Structure 1
Amino acid sequence: MKGVMKTVARYSAVLLCILVLVSLVPEIYRATKKEVVCKKINYTGIVAKRAKIYTEIGGSCEEKRAEKGTPLIVREERATADNRIWVLAYTSDDSRIGWIERENIKKARGD
């Protein structure tokens, strides 16, 4: 009888540990997921300082840079989990430039 009680106690402890781990999985997933907040906007701006142009947010950087004073149109703004804000920039003839950090852009006067 004593052996049966030990076995039941051992299996109960293992099951309890498994249940706790399974209940933590959604919380762990939520903590590690990169949340992106997207906002559709439309304003004209200029490049405030020389900036790298990215094809994807924080991703690969093509060997392109936006020179200071370059006019552009901002259509979309995204905030990433690391508190950086990116803007999707277009030229005045609607061709896509790429993603630039918002700190490198300033709004044009009159907007």
Structure 2
Amino acid sequence: SHLQKYQILNACSRVFKHSVPNSILHQILTYDDLKKFYSTPVDTVLPLERMKRIDLPPNLHVQYEPHRFHPDEDTMFNGQTAFPKSNTLVTGIRTKRKFKGSVVTSPFEAY
């Protein structure tokens, strides 16, 4: 029954310190499925972090820190953007500390 499945999954979650994600719940139908899930090693390292540890080919470069375009600070293209009619909105609380947004003023709004 659903209650038994919930109780078993809840107990396993407490014992193994990680739970079955929602995307996999429908695949857990038997005890063997549950055993197979919890016997699979858990890798919490993000793929980008994993790339930092390996030797990349010389023709591949990965930019680990994001670079955000701002027209007042751009020196490569003299403030010219690829999206001239689009604002750069920074909405995240953490990203607002790191990046400045920019609002595009249309030359037609002055009239």
Give the TM-score category using the shorter length.
under 0.3
Structure with bigger RCO (C-alpha 8 Å, 6+ apart): 1
| TM-score, scaled to structure 1 | 0.17
| TM-score, scaled to structure 2 | 0.17
Bigger strand share: 1
